[in-house]
Each structure stands twice: as C-alpha cells, then as structure tokens.
Structure 1
C-alpha cells in the first residue's frame, strides 16, 4: 500500500467511524490521526472540543496536570476521495489559530466569550487561564488527512516563560508510523553514506551466547538526525514515551546542551540499544561500525529525544555533544522480546522506570489478551459468530496487527475485530474501577486511574477465568451504552465523569449483582436498564453540577471521594431492574479476582448475610462497654452493621470474620 492508497483507505475508515459513532467527519479524522500519534508515543491522550471564530480554532486538547503541560490540536479536514495537498498558508494559518487560542485564553480574554454550556471548551479555557503560573510547556499540533510540507513548521520558541513546540501530523507522517508498525520500515543506519562518518567501537567478544556486545561513542548531531527521521519508531521497544522537557532530567539535558555542551558526555549516562545486525570494518586493526540494522533505543529514549528537541532551538550547536552507546546484537530473534525487556528493566537510566511501566507483561493482562483473541461474541440469531473484542495489551497492537495485513486481509480483520470493540488497558481500568465504585479515582485521568488499578490488581489473585472475561466485556458494553445514552442528552460536558458515576451508582444500587451474564449473551442492554440509566442521568448531572463548596471547579469536585459519598445514598427507585439482579444463592462473585466461589464459600456468605444490622450494632456496643475484642474487631462489628443496613453483599473474607466474631462473642457471653 503506497501513500496515496493509504490516504484513501484512511479516509474511508474514518467515514465508517462517522456512521458508527455519530460524530462529525472532522472529529473522526482528529481521533484517527491522534490514535497514531498516541501509538507513536508523541501524545498521551486527548479530549475532543469544538471552537472556531475569526482567527481562532481548536479541535482537541490535553492537559497533563502532573507535568503542567498543555497540548492543543487543530485539524484541517480534506473530504476528497483522494490524497490532496494542503497549502503552506493553510498549515501556518492553523498553527496561528491554535496559538492565538492559547494566548487569549491565558490572558483571560476568552472566559467571557465562551458559553458555559460548551463545557469542554470552557474547561480548557479555565485550565489555561488558571494554570498560567504553572504551565511552562505547550505543544501545538496541526492534524490533516492531506499531504503537507514539513518545511514550514514554525521553530520552537520561548515566550513569556512558556516553551512552545509546533508539530505537524499529515498523511505522510501517519503513513510512516503505519510502515513502522507493519514492520515494513526498519531502522537501518548507514553511517558512511548518510553521515560520512563511522563509529569507532569496542567489540566485546564472547560476552554471551545470546548477544554480541559493542560499545561506541555517537555524535549528538547524528543521534538527533536519526531521531528526526524515525521519531518514536526508534524508541519502539522503550517502555516510556518522551515527555518533552517536563521531567527535571530532560530540562537538565537541555541546559547542559545550551550552556556546557562539552560536558555532556561526562554528565550523561548514555544509551542502551539493540540491533539485528552490525556491520564493522577495520582500519589499522581498529574496528569501526559502518551500518546498524533494525536499531532500537531501549534505554535512553529521554536522552535521545531531548537532544533532538534541543537541536531545533535557535543557536544550538551539537558539535561538542557526544553520547556513549551500548549495542546488544541479539543472536536469536525469537528471544528479542524477553532480552529487551530485561535490558529496559535493569540497565542504568537517567530517569527511573517503575515496575508499573511493565504492567502490560502482568499475567492478568496477558490472560485478558488471550481470551480476546479466542472468545467469539455470542450471536442473537444463533448463527455463526463473526467478531470478537480486541484487547490492546501493549500500545499500538491493534494498528500493528492490522497494518501487517493486505488490503483484503485488513477488511476481514475489521469484520472480526470492529474498531468500536477495541479496548486498551486504561479503558479496562475505567470499567473495573467504576464497578468497584471508585468514580472519583477514574476522574483523576486515565493514567492515574490505571496506576491505582494496578495497585488493586497487586492485592488480588489475578487468576482469570473465561467467565471473568465474559463479564468484563459485559462491563465494557454497559459502560459504552451509558456513554451513548449520556451523549444523546447533549449536556455539554463532563460526559466522562457522568458515565463513570452512573456506572458506579448502578454497581452500588445492585450490590454488584447486576446480571452481567445477560448483557454478555445479548451483547447489549435491555429496555429496563436503559430506562434506569435515563433516570440516573438527571440526578447525577444535578449532583455533579452542585459541589459542596460553592464555586468549586466541577472537574476537581468529581475527583473527590466526597462527591461519590454524597451521591451513592441518594434515592432512586431501582425496583424496575429487580429482574436484572442475581439472587444471592445463584450469585458468583465477579470482581477482580476472577474466580468463581465454591459452594462452601457461598454458604459462608449466606450465613453471615442473614445476620441483622441490629445484632451487629448491639455486639459493637457490648464489646465497647465490656472491653471485649481488639479495637479493630470492635470497629469491624460496627462496620458489618452498616453493611447489613445497606444490604451490601459481603466478601468471603468479611463473612469469615463476621462468623468468627459471632462465635467469639457467644463464647464470651454475648446475647441480644
């Protein structure tokens, strides 16, 4: 598939999304281009928004609160059924419109002009204005499904204490990412022909039967040039993405290059790389590397990308910047994945890689991926199943697998794995954390919520059954259906918060006994569930828009546990979904553990759940008056009373402790 064919296919795919998701063509193109940008690691996430007036336009944005950075995206949509050119003037005009938006919002000139009902834009304007003392980095992206010249991209600049970087994602750049994903464009560096340079090296012979090892020093200008051409493709096996100059170490790299370039080699730890093949020639018995094939930076991605980014600034000279480099040539290609993962984990780096960065290799995620490749969706007609859900365990898997297909095979892949049935790790975390009734954590953002979810996983057994996977997909279906129903209301904003809170409220009101099996079997929700969601929308919308503290930002209010605590006990008649709730005697616990309970465990839960709240409160009072039990058990007695009063289903652990307390109390003379 050449560039022109790719551009046509890209537009057709986006138009399918328009029909399925009922969004505008510009939104669909924005989403699909950003999917590649996120896959590449250049972008973390995005929120769609629409604002266009004279001299100003914005299509999407992202605010990285942790690193105080703003990303703004503006789209140039081309609807012709062919790959068309985008003029330099249109590209520069788009950059200017997004930059104008940033500065006017920052100076408080847009607050009065934005209708508060347009929540996404209003929130963005507030964030830019209120964080002007914190935000030191902004990136402006022009996105287009046309073909544009990269030569006219404005140079990065520093203005009013803000470092602004400009990036262009047109079809050529998206196509390059596609080729990298498809394995059709390997990173092959010919130092002699491309740079008129060869790397003096030290070849470590017989270090291992698994790898050949080389150590060399690479000029900063060459490393920057390679990164400029291949971008995140060079860092494909690196577990992190480049965070611009947000991290302190990246700022240190930048300052060293600016002020002490001759000291860069001394200050920097260097990079660790892998390769499929290294070509060496000898001169006076000294080895020199002339070519590297399938080159990947597995540690030092921050160093590499920071050198390039700094090189784009005015008056930067990289002639004195040198980087020490280790190259591990993996002899057996089937061992590349395992060896690279260990290099990434153990090699010294300038910024620490936490174990959570490797969560995609957790056996939980591997199990979900395996089920998603084998478990067909049930059909309503009883005919042959035709599609599955696709779990993207590692970033870009969906694009990766699709890009390796022929045009005909890609169409079959699209039928088997519809794009709307793709979900990623952060999606999974949203489903589960909402089901666990923690919408305030979901509101903290996809990455932060995923970190919390990972901690939750660490405390579980994580043995995933087929039934657990089916119920997980049922949660995904329910979550998406709530999203669809909320979207139809055109409330103007906070949709993500609304969906999570409604999902959590359903979980709470049904004691996590909503019949997920029925949702799985039908691949959808019925009319009664739809109706209760409709009723919940009004209550939740009113609740979120009336924080306890008058004037509090709604987004911040949604992150507070108090927001959830003051919502969950509000009254709503859920009797219409009684048929959708499993009875305790047939109920099988389906939280994160993913294991079905034994009959003995179900019996223990049943026995503990039959104890009335009055009994627990009386026991707690008796224990306090007569100094019985430990302080923990006295508090547990009271908590069990609260749970019984709310008719919450007890866990196995809670039930065992409850029966233990009852026996101990009886042995010590307690009676109601």
Structure 2
C-alpha cells in the first residue's frame, strides 16, 4: 500500500520528532541526520558531518563532507518543524543556495574563520575550506527541505563559485518519498547519452529470443566513463563494489601505468567492466545499434578501472582520447535485482576475490543476524508489559517492505513488536561493533568506510569460525547498540556540550570504556543490559565522566590540525586519548567496578554459545537434508559420479541419503551432503 507525499511527510515528521526525543538533540539535527542517512546509504553522498551555522550577514550551513574525489558537499536546511506539508518556491531555493554560497565564499576568500570560535564545528569547516581551496575540484551544494518543491522548478544548471565548478541539488520531501518508495530503495540514475555526450554508444546485442533477459556488449570511450564518474561518483558503483573500493583505495597502479605509458594497449590489457541496468533505450542509426539511454547503470565489476581512469585524468592530466573499455551490460528488472545483481557481482569478481567485496547483504553472516532478529524476543522494558524484537535490516528497505502488504491493524501489531527505534542496519551494526572493539577512528571515517572495515574484519573471522556469530553475539551486539544510543542522548543533554562533534565524542567514549575494562581484565555485563533493555544510573554516570574527558581532549587537536573532525579520523587521536585513561579512572564511581564481569567469565559464556551454535548448525543441516527427497540425492550421486567428482566418502554418504527415510544421515554426514549440493550447482546440475 503506497503512501502519498502528504502521508510520507507526516510519517517522516514523526520519525524526526521521535529521533530528536530519543537522542535529546535539536529537531534540526535529527532532521539532517535522518536525511543524510538516506543519502549515504544509497551512495548519493559519501558521508555527513552536522555543522549548523547561521549569521546575520546572510550566511548559513548545516552540514558538510569532504570526499576522496576532491569534492566538497555543503548542506543547507529548509526546516522549521512545519506541521503541514507546504510548497518550496523558487525564491526560497535561490535564497537558501545564496546563503550557502556566501558561507563558502567568506570561508575561501574572506577569512571568515578568524571571526569564529576556535572549538566550534563551523570554525573547523571554514578553516578547512580556506586551507583546501586549491584542491577542491568540485563543489556540491545540497538543499534539504521538509517542503515539496514547486512543479515550476525543473532543474538547476551547474555554475561556478570562486572558480570551482558547482552543482546544485535539491532533496525535498517529494524526492525523499520517491527514493523510499522505489523498488530498489534508491534513486536510479537516468543517463541520456545523446544529451550528455552528443551521441549514443555503439553496442552488440548478446541475447537471443524474447524469453531471455537483455544483454549487450559495448565499447565505452574512457572519457565517457571518466565523465560519468566525475559527475556521479560512487552512485555508479553497486554497493558491494563501493564497499570494496572503500576498503582498498582508489587507484590501481597497473591500470595507471597503462593509461600513462601504453594507452593504445589499454583495451587489450584490461578485463573491462561488468554492469547492470533496470532498462535501456536502443536506436538503429543505419550503421548499427546504439544505446542512447540507460536507467540505473550500476558497475558490479570494474570499479577500480572506473575510479583509476577518473583519478589518472584528474591528477596526472592523462589524455584518455585513445582509450576504450569493453563493457558487458545486463538489463535486470528491479524486482530481481536483489537476488541477481549480487550474484553477477560475486561471479564477476572471482579473479580478485576480497572479503569486503564479497560481503553481500545475502552473505551467511547477515542472513544469520536477520534470522536471530526475527526470532529472538527482547525482554520487556521496565514498566512495559510487551516483549519486542530488534529488527535487523540486512538489505535496504526491509523494514518498510515487511509492512507494505499488511492491513492497518497488522501494521500496528508489527510496529508494536518491531518498534522503529529498535530497527538497525548493517552500517549501524558496524558502528556499534567497531566502537566497542576499539576502532573509533574507523567509525569517524563515515558510515560506508567504517562498514568496509567491519566487513573485511568479520569476513575473515567468519571464514575462520562461523560459529562465533551466534545468539550470544547478536544479543551482545544489541546491548552494545543500546549503550551507544543511550550515550548519544546523554551527550546531547550535558551542560558542557556545545552542539558539535557528538558522533566523535560517542565513538571515543565507548572505545575508552572498553579499554578501561580490558586493562582490568574485565568486561561490561552485556547480558544484564540485554535483560534490562537499557543502562542503569551507574553506567550513565561513568559515560558522562568519560565523555567530558573525551570532549576536552579532542577539542584540542594536535598542532597544525584545525578541523576537529579530521583530527578524530587519525590514529594519533586515539593514541593520545589512551594516555589520559589513567587520569579518568579515579573519577569513576566505585559501584562501576562491581558491575563488571571478568574476562574469563565472558570468554566462557562466548565458548558455550559457540558450542550451542554448532549444535544448531547440525540440526539445521539435518532439517535441510531431510527436506530433499531420496530420489534427488540418487540423481545427484549419479550425475557427480559420471563426472568423477565424488570421493569414496561422498559416494557412501550419498547412498545413505538416497535411502531416506529408512536411513537417516548423521549431522556430520548432512554437512557433507550440503557441500555436495553446492558442488552439483556449480556443475549445472538441477538441485531443489
């Protein structure tokens, strides 16, 4: 049941109010964080730092992000906590962008930072703009509005500010509604090659008949690829490829060398690009077919090639005129994209397999976390009668999709069982875990980069010991999230808090708390936090003391660093804060030490949970094996034996399976049988 823009406005407003209440932040901050989360998760921006500054001189800014491609995103809000949906006019739009441009110009050329408080977020941003002005290649001004844009505003042409190419983007409530309502849960790129480059791209159809999906082979000019990446950046890259690049850096040295020294051989040396699209438009020019338009182009392999072409042209002034790249383009309907696109990406990336790149939303880790979140009931909070669940959104939009076909009564029940404040995403989980595991610097790099670090770390741990990720791990992760979110609220209410750097303070405060316990060979009692579904007064007091110390430390960055947020991204920041721990400990209440559990006790609990998971895995394996008829096992044995792909042990176990139910395979035998299923699938053998 699709909502109207007006309904979406009211729902989004309630989310913002609830978010502000839950975190004790101002409504503007909650609004900006909510919108920024949408834009980051869909790749429209790489990250977001809240920074509200408004001056009588007609300047305003509400957030920013410096990205790795040399671009600066500046945000300005149109927000007044309106109770009814209203129209955003052209006059409003022009005025908002003028105020944002004035802030940039005053920072870049008029020494604005000298008039600002040195520890304020606006000082750090203004000073960084002045220091980085020569290296900013692209300025993106982004207006975020709680109103609906007037139909008379079609598009805003690119411009230039202080000699820097400037793009204007408007995210009004209608555009946010379209993004959340789209089947792919992101705004698809609509690329008109004729309009953008003056001509279509020659192609060869690679599909036969009407029953197959469309696919094409194309030879893409490198200048076109570089131009698309310059304009759209990471939005061109499928999420898992984006994660891979975040984890591994942007420029491949071999690709760069070929561009600079042997451009004519690039086509021969490079593996090319694999991409998908929702739909394409093709024209017959008389000399062959051309693709003139692509809706939602996503590069699923070849992200390094794409980024390297862009960076080598920008940094090395390389001439791309004689470089061409082969592209395999598959047209996949958005209904099938969640299943098929990750598979294309996985299979296309087998030559340079990397854990982070393979860490898809359907990776067994995420599937297991999702299963726990749908099955495990959290204890009722104090004063409440009803148990609830913590909804893990392993794929974007699952929380909304789960309600889309429910009746109003069923929706009410769903939200009671799965409250929105208890929904958490992959990037939330990565944030909770990396802070507690003492990687605060990673968390401050932004949601996507932090997730890339987490994915790489957990991917390796999963390969080594998947049973580590069990019910205990899930409950502990939720408990960590409870503390994390409680601390956000706590920081906002502190008398010393000036409205800036909350995310930095929270990340380092939790890392310090974790380090203090570890130094005493103890751990926080996460089971008690799970049971209470909240934190007690003692822990609140401890967090407040540590947060104050962290704030005092990070607001005095090392010499030569003017931006506190940038300082918080450096290892040196964490190293220096750790030296302050001995001074913090004496201020902590004595009750705190009594509430910790020994590291040995925590390890014993984790070991026990690991054993339980192993048993659960065995039971699950038996269930899956017994669901497959004996005749199918006989067919698998026959087909794999004919290809001489079975060991004597596997043959014996398959013979037992072929006699189900008169003979029942053991748990260990079932694990082997599930491996033979995968072997059969790889050989193209039909498996139920």
- Would you call these one fold, judging by a TM-score over 0.5? yes
Cα-to-partner distance string for 1:363-400 (whole Å, 9 max, x where unaligned): 33332232223222211469764532233334454455
Match of 2:465 in 1: 461
Does 1:525 pair with 2:535? yes
Which structure carries more helix by proportion? 2
Does 1:63 pair with 2:62? no
SS in 2 for 1:588: helix
C-alpha spacing 1:325/1:179, structure 2 compared with 1 (3 Å): farther
- The answer as to whether partners of 2:240 and 2:359 remain within 8 angstroms in 1 is no
SS in 2 for 1:141: strand
Match of 1:563 in 2: 576
SS in 2 for 1:133: helix
Match of 2:524 in 1: 514
Cα-to-partner distance string for 1:151-206 (whole Å, 9 max, x where unaligned): 46542234545332211111221122123147899999999xxxxx9998644467
How far off its partner does 1:97 sit?
0.9
Match of 2:106 in 1: 104
Match of 2:423 in 1: 422
- The answer as to whether partners of 2:90 and 2:153 remain within 8 angstroms in 1 is no
SS in 2 for 1:531: helix
Q: Which runs of 5+ in 2 are unaligned?
A: 194-198, 260-265, 310-321, 614-688
C-alpha spacing 1:236/1:21, structure 2 compared with 1 (3 Å): same
Q: Which aligned pairs between 1:446-595 and structure 2 lie closer than 5 A? A: 446-457=447-458, 458-459=460-461, 461-463=465-467, 464-489=469-494, 490-492=496-498, 493-511=500-518, 512-546=522-556, 554-555=564-565, 557-558=567-568, 559=570, 560=572, 561-570=574-583, 571-572=585-586, 573=588, 575-583=590-598, 586-588=601-603, 595=610
Deviates more, 1:491-500 or 1:404-413: 404-413
Rounded to whole Å, the distance in 2 between the matches of 1:93 and 1:592 is 60
- The answer as to whether partners of 2:391 and 2:418 remain within 8 angstroms in 1 is yes
Match of 2:85 in 1: 83
C-alpha spacing 1:290/1:57, structure 2 compared with 1 (3 Å): closer
How far off its partner does 1:419 sit?
3.4
Q: Which aligned pairs between 1:633-652 and structure 2 lie closer than 5 A? A: none
Match of 1:638 in 2: none
SS in 2 for 1:155: coil
SS in 1 for 2:134: coil
Cα-to-partner distance string for 1:432-462 (whole Å, 9 max, x where unaligned): 2332234344444444444443443325524
Rounded to whole Å, the distance in 2 between the matches of 1:115 and 1:183 is 40
- The answer as to whether partners of 2:76 and 2:143 remain within 8 angstroms in 1 is yes
Q: Which aligned pairs between 1:31-430 and structure 2 lie closer than 5 A? A: 31-53=33-55, 54-64=57-67, 66-77=68-79, 79-107=81-109, 109-117=111-119, 119-149=120-150, 151=153, 153-160=155-162, 162-181=164-183, 202-204=204-206, 213-215=215-217, 239-240=241-242, 272-274=274-276, 298=300, 326-328=328-330, 337=338, 339-345=340-346, 347=348, 355-361=355-361, 362-380=363-381, 385-398=386-399, 401=402, 411-430=412-431
Rounded to whole Å, the distance in 1 between the matches of 2:289 and 2:359 is 40
Rounded to whole Å, the distance in 1 between the matches of 2:575 and 2:267 is 51
Rounded to whole Å, the distance in 2 between the matches of 1:326 and 1:56 is 47
Rounded to whole Å, the distance in 1 between the matches of 2:565 and 2:166 is 26
- The answer as to whether partners of 1:39 and 1:396 remain within 8 angstroms in 2 is no
Rounded to whole Å, the distance in 2 between the matches of 1:360 and 1:73 is 30
Cα-to-partner distance string for 1:477-528 (whole Å, 9 max, x where unaligned): 1122222222211422332232223222222332342111100000111112
How far off its partner does 1:576 sit?
1.5
Cα-to-partner distance string for 1:13-37 (whole Å, 9 max, x where unaligned): 3333333333333333323333332
C-alpha spacing 1:235/1:417, structure 2 compared with 1 (3 Å): farther
C-alpha spacing 1:409/1:199, structure 2 compared with 1 (3 Å): farther
How far off its partner does 1:92 sit?
0.9
Cα-to-partner distance string for 1:206-239 (whole Å, 9 max, x where unaligned): 79x9866444689999999x99xx9999977774
SS in 2 for 1:502: helix
C-alpha spacing 1:583/1:552, structure 2 compared with 1 (3 Å): same
Q: Which runs of 5+ in 1 are unaligned?
A: 192-196, 257-263, 308-319, 599-672
SS in 2 for 1:132: helix
How far off its partner does 1:113 sit?
2.4
Give aligned pairs, total.
569
Give TM-score, length-normalised by structure 1.
Answer: 0.68
- The answer as to whether partners of 1:509 and 1:574 remain within 8 angstroms in 2 is no
- The answer as to whether partners of 1:3 and 1:175 remain within 8 angstroms in 2 is yes
How far off its partner does 1:73 sit?
0.8
Alignment root-mean-square deviation, CA: 5.4
C-alpha spacing 1:90/1:354, structure 2 compared with 1 (3 Å): farther
